[in-house]
Amino acid sequence: MKGFYSRLVMACAILFSILLTGLGIVLGQFFPLFADDIELTVRVKYWIFLITILIIAFLLSMIIAAKMMRQYAKPVDEITKKAIQIAKGDYFTRIQTEDPEYDSELANAINTIAVSLQEMSTHQTTEQERLKTLIESMGSGLLTFGRQGFVNLANGVFEKTFGFSKDELVGKTVKEIGLPADIAHLIEEVFMTEKVHEKQVRIQSDSGYSIYMNVYGAPVIGIHGNWLGIIVVMHDITKLIRLEEVRKDFVANVSHELRTPVTSIKGFSETLLDGAMDDPEILKEFLQIIQKESERLHVLIKDLLVLSGAEREGFSLQIAPVHIKPMIDEALKIVLGKLKRKEMKAVVHGSDDIVIQGDESRLMQVMVNLLTNAISYSRELTTITITIEQVDTSVLISIKDQGIGIKQSELPRLFERFYRVDRARSRDSGGTGLGLAIVKHLVEAHHGTVEVESTIGVGSEFRIQLPLQQPH
């Protein structure tokens, strides 16, 4: 496309050509007025002279006009080029107004527009980056549809949850994507009714686990009230559902554990009141049963309080130096009666000099619970082996029994509250089903770990690893 200056020069050339040609024609008409007998050769010379003069006049006029127009038209051409660059998206280009030729209102206006567009572009880019970061970093899956029903946006959480990529989603309808039926139905409901819909759905994952999601769908309305499409947000509530199930199970287990001794105490006390206390032997037997069930209630409530305290936020330990070997010896004294009843013995291997930073009373409780568990599930006349070993900056304590062993399928749930491998044996031994759960929480409170290995018919080994120094 020709510039403004070129077009002006061309227009002037055409205009001067027309004017000078007309002038030549007019002047030529005056020849007969001077003399009719002028020779032809003189006339020809005159015409040549006239045409030469007109051409010279044309050229001089064009040179003068070109110089004059250059002063005003050339800056317009330069400004036009810059304006075209700005129109193409180059908002960083500027017209150099230091030169007096370019220091005009038009140039300043174009520069002002460029600055405004640059600021708007930068702001828009920043907002887009913020929105993209927000969408990608949010913990919920996000899917948006345009007014025609095609997907135009999906975030990384949605892709990871359902195993899709953006290429597989963008430009497709909900039916083409192949979402779970409940989610697809909710999306269709939002499209049809143009109203907010919310629903909890259960999805079966490829690994066989159930995933629970809260799906929220809503129409997207523009600032002028026009319908733009819909947005669907899917939040994984699997942990909340499982926590609720754990809470329900916990309440049910506590109710069951409390009901059994309370029912026994109530039944035997009513029997005594109905006249059985008159028989000294029955009275003694029933009182022993009531005392045993009361003790069971006491142990259960004590364990519940310990466990709730360990799980409570802000639970703290009384940190002090703990000599591991003497602490284990004290724990063995507590369970000595149980060892003697089953004619068992306990052997401790390890140095007397190992000292760690911890809460001695809590660690004592851990050892008592593990030893009690080992005694309860061991055969008579067997041995419990306790090994103490320092490994780098931690101490490893192993409690190995010669008991009945635990199935591999039972091991993952062994530290759950109220979980028992053998319910009958546990009840007979006075166990509450909370001992190992307490062990796990107290060990973790010391920034340690607890794990177990077991073989059916051979026995089980519990290993506790505790740091020598507690982190600040």
Per-residue pLDDT tens digits for 56-75? 777 777 777 666 666 666 66
- pLDDT of 69: 66
Q: Which are the contacts of 76, defined by CB distance < 8 A and separation ≥ 6?
A: 4, 5, 106
| Cα 395 to Cα 66, 350, 374, 388, distances in angstroms | 97, 11, 21, 7
Q: Which residue has better confidence, 91 or 31? A: 91
Nearest one of 404, 432, 399, 397 to 418, comparing CA atoms: 432
Indicate the average pLDDT of the chain.
80
Separation CA 105–CA 248 (nearest Å) = 77
Q: What percent of the chain clears pLDDT 90, i.e. is strictly above it?
A: 13
CA triple 448-452-455, angle to 5 deg: 170
pLDDT category at 24 given cuts 50, 70, 90 is low
The greatest distance separating any two alpha carbons of the chain, rounded to the nearest whole angstrom, comes to: 177
CA triple 246-250-251, angle to 5 deg: 120
User: What's the whole-number mean pLDDT along residues 94-116?
Assistant: 71
- pLDDT of 88: 80
Dump pLDDT digits (tens) for 152-210: 888 888 888 888 887 788 888 888 888 888 888 998 898 888 889 999 888 877 666 78
Given a cut of 80, is residue 429 above it in pLDDT?
no
User: What's the whole-number mean pLDDT along residues 379-383?
Assistant: 90
Dump pLDDT digits (tens) for 325-367: 999 999 999 888 889 989 999 999 988 889 999 999 889 889 9
Q: Which residue has better confidence, 293 or 190? A: 190
User: What's the whole-number mean pLDDT along residues 203-226?
Assistant: 82
- pLDDT of 37: 60
User: What's the whole-number mean pLDDT along residues 300-324?
Assistant: 79
Q: Which are the contacts of 239, defined by CB distance < 8 A and separation ≥ 6?
A: none
- pLDDT of 4: 58
pLDDT category at 43 given cuts 50, 70, 90 is low
pLDDT category at 48 given cuts 50, 70, 90 is confident
- pLDDT of 90: 79
Dump pLDDT digits (tens) for 430-466: 556 778 888 888 898 889 999 999 988 889 999 999 9
pLDDT category at 396 given cuts 50, 70, 90 is very high
Given a cut of 60, is residue 383 above it in pLDDT?
yes
- Domains, the chain: 1-135 (no CATH), 138-236 (3.30.450.20), 241-311 (1.10.287.130), 320-467 (3.30.565.10)
User: What's the whole-number mean pLDDT along residues 397-401?
Assistant: 92
